[in-house]
Amino acid sequence: MKTSIITICLFFLTLTALSQNITGIWNGTIEVDKDTKFNFIFNIEEDGKTYQTTVDMPTQRVNGIKALKTLVTADSLIIDFSNVGMKYSGKLNANRTLINGKLVEGLNFFSLNLSRNLVLETPNVNRPQEPIRPYSYFEENISFTNKDANITLAGTFTRPNGSKKYPVAILISGSGPQDRDETISKHKPFLVLADYLTKQGIAVLRYDDRGFGASTGNHSNATTYDFALDVIRAMDYLRTRDDVDANKIGLIGHSEGGIIAPLVANKSKDVAFIISLAGTGISGTELSVIQSKTMRPFPVPDEVVYEKAIREAIEIAKQNKDVSEIKPELKAHYNETIAPILKNLGVPDGKMNEIITSLVAMRTTKWVRYFYDYNPANEYEKVNCPVLSLNGSLDTQVEAKINQDGLREALIKGKNKDYQIIEIEGLNHLFQNAKTGKMDEYSDIEETFSPKVLNLISDWILKRI
């Protein structure tokens, strides 16, 4: 009996020691190549018997990513960020000064070792378009609820100084969890856009996506349709304000936001206008096939065979079955079609299994299974409000011509009386003046948002409201 008591006491002493050693600030860096590094700051806190973790990425200017769960067992640490598509797992060294681990994000696996070094500072970047407080207009932090989803969305409302009712643009972010500024690659495009529009007399509402920033909920459990319902709740909130013209609430959607907007317009029927920035006009299946070819980081021996394999994988993932049935079928398909390609590239068996497992997980998320069958052209065909579609000629994520052709055909078929579709030369997916349009170029460009496009957007809106 005494031995049992001593054992139990030692067990609790171990847990206490671990708790003391795991809480606090941990820092680490992912090095993609000699020119690309991502700094991470993990803040682990203990709350009674549980742990809570938030992460900052100073190199990307992203702060306050909240983990769903933090699990500490013996010498291991597992942090579940599945609400934003990430997971971290690691092991403490013998003297508990270093956590050796890896970060998984979608299909990517990165070595990320954490230590208690000095907190990594946000690097200085020159972003001349970003406004500096005090602003010349009214700004208010706000929140609204989506009661059906049991979530609260937090954001920022800006309007010109004055006492009248103003037209409003709601900014809808692209795919993946985004903050209200749509912070990406060291840029804050929605901050720049909101600042510009507000100075032109147009109020703006922008908000953190569900499960990100100050908003509650789980981003990874939501679909494009769910995000559309969040926008509708944003419209409901704006109608309660006495400084908003309820008849002049429009939508500006970037990337996925551009395909969320028509869903909102067709459900609410009182959207004043839609602006699609780098939005798509083809089905999710076709876009996924195109991106799997144009954004693939490895060569294949036969493009036709590869495309056929991708299409078959998507058809498997789209089946009206439980995901638990689909995953084994999809894994078998990848082992037959993709594994030989990876093997020829020298990928070891252990790593190959990780890649295929991750591919299966990516192809079977709730969001992507909805996305495959969603074609925004079908929704745009039913839209009656004015529509402006803008795409950059150097966009490597959403190719301009095929997507604008799909959108144009839909608007013509639906007999929309007021639309413009413009491809702008030399701009990338973020509407920066670019050289190549590739994603790794975004952060190196000083410009956040083309002034030409900012002016085009505001002029187009003001002519219609």
For residue range 381-431, what is the model confidence (pLDDT) as tens digits?
A: 999 999 999 999 999 999 999 999 999 999 999 999 999 999 999 999 999
Give the per-residue pLDDT at 107: 58
For residue range 328-347, what is the model confidence (pLDDT) as tens digits?
A: 999 999 999 999 988 888 88
Closest to 110 measured CA to CA, from 29, 55, 178: 29
Residue owning tokens 């903050």: 179
- The C-alpha torsion from 269 through 271 and 277 to 281, rounded to 10°, is 20
Give the per-residue pLDDT at 17: 42
Say if residue 9's pLDDT is above 50. Answer: no
Other residues' Cβ atoms within 10 Å of the Cβ of residue 231: 27
Say if residue 1's pLDDT is above 50. Answer: no
Give the per-residue pLDDT at 8: 40
Give the per-residue pLDDT at 12: 38
Burial of 258 (0-12, 13-18, 19+ CB in 10 A): buried
Distance CA 272, CA 239 (A): 13
Q: Note the CATH number of domain 21-115.
A: 2.40.160.90
Residue 34 banded pLDDT, cuts 50, 70, 90: low
The token pair that represents 464 in the structure block = 């219609």
Which region among 12-26, 48-62, 124-138, 320-334 has the lowest average model confidence (pLDDT)?
A: 12-26
Longest CA–CA span in the chain (Å) reads 86
Mean pLDDT for the stretch of residues 40-65: 86
| Sheet containing 274-277: order of strands | 138-146, 151-159, 203-207, 166-172, 244-254, 274-277, 387-392, 419-424
Residue 363 banded pLDDT, cuts 50, 70, 90: very high
Q: Decide: 129 and 448 in contact? Cβ < 8 Å.
A: yes
What is the chain's mean pLDDT, rounded? 90
CA distances from 365 to 85, 138, 158, 373 (A): 10, 40, 35, 13
Task: Let me know how long the chain is.
Answer: 465
Say if residue 175's pLDDT is above 80. Answer: yes
The secondary structure of residue 208, as a DSSP letter, is P
Say if residue 119's pLDDT is above 70. Answer: no
Give the per-residue pLDDT at 13: 37
Closest to 464 measured CA to CA, from 224, 251, 171, 152: 251
Mean pLDDT for the stretch of residues 270-277: 98
Residue owning tokens 């952060």: 443
Say if residue 286's pLDDT is above 70. Answer: yes
Give the per-residue pLDDT at 150: 97
The token pair that represents 288 in the structure block = 């996924």
Say if residue 15's pLDDT is above 50. Answer: no
The token pair that represents 226 in the structure block = 């769910």
Mean pLDDT for the stretch of residues 150-154: 98
Say if residue 209's pLDDT is above 80. Answer: yes
Q: What are the domain boundaries of the chain? A: 21-115, 138-283+374-462, 285-371
φ/ψ region of 10 (left if φ > 0, alpha if ψ in -120 to 50, else beta) reads alpha
Residue owning tokens 């700051």: 41
Q: How many helices (H) and strands (E) does the chain have?
A: 13, 18
Q: Decide: 374 and 259 in contact? Cβ < 8 Å.
A: yes
Distance CA 285, CA 229 (A): 23
Say if residue 245's pLDDT is above 90. Answer: yes
Say if residue 141's pLDDT is above 70. Answer: yes
Say if residue 371's pLDDT is above 90. Answer: yes
Give the per-residue pLDDT at 65: 86
For residue range 307-321, what is the model confidence (pLDDT) as tens digits?
A: 999 999 999 999 999
Distance CA 80, CA 83 (A): 8
Greater model confidence, 348 or 208: 208
The token pair that represents 358 in the structure block = 């991750």
Percentage of residues of the chain with pLDDT beyond 90: 67
Architecture label for domain 138-283+374-462: 3-Layer(aba) Sandwich (3.40)
